[in-house]
Chains A and B, each alone.
Chain A
Amino acid sequence: EAGVTQSPTHLIKTRGQQATLRCSPISGHTSVYWYQQALGLGLQFLLWYDEGEERNRGNFPPRFSGRQFPNYSSELNVNALELEDSALYLCASSLGQGDHQPQHFGDGTRLSIL
């Protein structure tokens, strides 16, 4: 069974640019989560999508947005990039809301802002 896949592995941008990160969940999983792992800030919840809808959002500004496609893959978009956006962005997927299904993580996209 293929795990959660994220692309690209690394992404280098400059301040003010826009970044798009992609995630393909495990086959059969309908929920996708995004987390930011920044140096000194730990792992923070960003967004949760289930069945194409945004279900929950962490304490991040609106320039962090995303969507989930009909095939359950997901995109995270970050507009007007700032230096502090440099981090590892992790995507996770699960079977859905029921019974607190465990989340399975991809290896992340490392976003570097110059």
Chain B
Amino acid sequence: AQSVTQLGSHVSVSEGALVLLRCNYSSSVPPYLFWYVQYPNQGLQLLLKYTSAATLVKGINGFEAEFKKSETSFHLTKPSAHMSDAAEYFCAVSPFTGGGNKLTFGTGTQLKVEL
């Protein structure tokens, strides 16, 4: 079964610093990968998705992620953190074939942004 692992359940950065949230996937075939953000008491909002068209994917709010097959990684980055980026971030995987669009989520990373 496909899965994703998010390293670090909590990440703290200073405002203006680089944000790096890690995600590794396990799959023999490169799957479809997604990053979602969840603000308190809200649902999930799609940040970006990888569907094999390009290895560097740009998303909303200045976030981007790079697909690295050799490292089975899909880390999320943002050059300069803003206070409004404080939220929980989820990496998710969807199988390339079969299983439809079922998403399997990582355990999430809580991002804290400090002044």
Contact = CB atoms under 8 A, between A and B. Distances in A.
A33 B102 contact: yes
B102 A43 contact: no
A44 B1 CA distance: 14
Contacts, number: 59
Interface stretch (B10-18, B19-27, B40-48): B40-48
Interface string B82-115: 0000000010001000011111111110000000
A33 B101 contact: yes
B105 A103 contact: no
Interface string B21-42: 0000000000010101000011
Contact of A43 (B49, B99, B101, B105): B105
Interface residues of B, number: 23
Contacts of B101: 31, 33, 48, 94, 97, 100-101, 103
* Main secondary structure on A side of the interface with B: strand
Interface in A95-114: 97, 99-108
B51 interface: yes
Top-4 shortest CB links A-B: A105-B43, A43-B105, A105-B44, A107-B43
Interface of A: 4, 31, 33, 35, 42-45, 48, 50, 55-56, 58, 90, 92, 94, 97, 99-108
